[in-house]
Amino acid sequence: MRMNKDFEISVAPMMDWTDRHCRYFHRLISPHAKLYTEMVTAGALIHGDAARFLRFDKAEHPVALQLGGSDEAPLARSAEMGAAHGYDEINLNCGCPSDRVQSGSFGACLMNEPAHVAACIGAMIDAVDIPVTVKCRIGIDKEDSFEFLDRFVGTIADKGCKTFIIHARSAWLKGLSPKENRDVPPLNYARVHEVKEKYPELRIILNGGVTQMTRIEEAEGLDGVMIGREAYQNPYWLAEVERKIFGNHEVLGRDKIARAMIPYIERQAAEFDTPVKSITRHMMGLYHHQPGAKHWRRALSNYPYEDGAGSEVIEKAIADKDAAVKVHADARKE
Ligand SMILES: Cc1cc2nc3c(=O)[nH]c(=O)nc-3n(C[C@H](O)[C@H](O)[C@H](O)COP(=O)(O)O)c2cc1C
């Protein structure tokens, strides 16, 4: 694969999924991927428990904070808080179609207001010394022309934003749930390439439907891909990506990754009283498509929920998985 030097792999911001525990787990599998937080609204950061929202482990670097919002001053203030906390990048969500987000007039509907987004981005850039980036769609509703996307990207790039992560499908603000809108309408990678052709000086990252190496190859000429659901549901795929994109052959095997979570689970319990289930829920997909996967998932759906459960659930789940694999292997020998 002949990717641009500095080709970037990232794991997408995903609400309820990419919390700090999930990101720590992903980092063990993928030393090179950039990791994104779940979206945090500027209002929640400023008026809520900022320390809790912003908490991350230093192993997570490089890690980007995704913000939601549509007002300059709170976004600039939130960006400042993120930078002061040690984040490597601040990203503005201009791609989420959910009703809750629309009623706050941010997310994907911001694509209708490029000048306003540009003002917000300008204020955020002035507030911090780290990169401020935008995550958007290729269009919204009937506005799916190149001209629409071009106007959005061009107006914001004029304010100094150098990186755009583009989910290669339009957002439909009416008639589809956000979940449905992640598979419909069809992906249009060519549109993302058109943006790169017009703005070769910008970093353009492709998002949407990147679930296998051939999809990453389709991003040749771009500056990277952002992987969403596949990274969550089949996290060990990130190990293959490490090998093929970064030439990193040192990634630990699945069992070692699982065991490397044990000290983390113990540290989180000691420092923050974190229940083990809050961490293991992100590890369900570790053995995706591997022998014993069903037993691993079953174990993680049960043991962490028992009273007094702690880090021992990892060894118990590995043992259940291995026992199932052995029974299967013995049966085949007979
Ligand atoms: C459970 C879930 C939560 C999501 N939350 C966010 C979010 O907070 N911010 C955001 O920009 N996108 C969010 N997304 C969209 C993803 O970042 C990504 O753009 C989308 O899933 C398409 O990529 P994929 O096909 O690789 O999954 C979410 C997606 C999922 C599945």
325 Cα–ligand 1 center, Å: 34
Residue of minimum CA distance from atom 7 in ligand 1: 14
pLDDT of residue 105: 74
The C-alpha atoms of residue 40 and residue 328 are separated, in whole angstroms, by 45
What is the structure's pLDDT at 177?
Answer: 85
Fold adopted by 8-246: TIM Barrel (3.20.20)
Total-model pTM: 0.96
Q: With contact defined as beta carbons under 8 Å apart, do 40 and 53 qualify?
A: yes
- C-alpha 14 to ligand 1 mean position (Å): 5
Does ligand 1 have an atom closer than 6 angstroms to the CB of 95?
yes
CB of 288 closer than 6 A to ligand 1?
no
228 lines ligand 1 (CB under 6 A): yes
Report in angstroms the alpha-carbon separations of 154 from 34, 123, 128, 278.
Answer: 25, 17, 21, 41
* φ/ψ bin of 292: left (φ > 0), alpha (ψ from -120 to 50), beta (otherwise): left
Instruction: Give nearest CA residue, ligand 1 atom 26.
Output: 228
What value does the mean pLDDT of the chain take?
Answer: 95
Q: Which residues are catalytic?
A: 96
Residue nearest (by alpha carbon) to ligand 1 atom 23: 208
Residue 25 near residue 282 (C-beta atoms within 8 A): yes
Q: How high is the pLDDT of residue 328?
A: 81
Identify the pLDDT of residue 100.
Answer: 67
In CATH, 254-333 is 1.20.120? yes
pLDDT at 183: 86
How far apart are the CA of 47 and the centre of ligand 1, in A?
25
Residue type, 68: G
Q: Which among 230, 232, 231 is positioned nearest to 282, based on CA atoms?
A: 232
The answer to whether the CB of 14 is under 6 A from ligand 1 is yes
pLDDT means per 10 residues, the chain with 334 residues, are 82 98 98 97 96 97 97 97 98 86 78 95 98 97 94 98 97 85 91 98 98 96 97 98 94 97 98 98 98 98 98 98 89 78
| Amino acid letter, residue 299 | A
| pLDDT value at residue 175 | 80
Cβ-count burial 293-316 (b if 16+ within 10 Å, e if not): bebbbebbeebbeeeebebebbee
298 lines ligand 1 (CB under 6 A): no
Give pLDDT, residue 2: 63
Sequence spans of domains, the chain: 8-246, 254-333
pLDDT digits (tens, 9 = 90+) for 163-191: 999 999 999 888 888 888 888 889 999 99
Beta-ladder partners of 94: 136
The answer to whether the CB of 282 is under 6 A from ligand 1 is no
Whether the Cβ atoms of residue 61 and residue 28 lie closer than 8 Å to each other:
no
The predicted pLDDT at position 293 comes to: 98
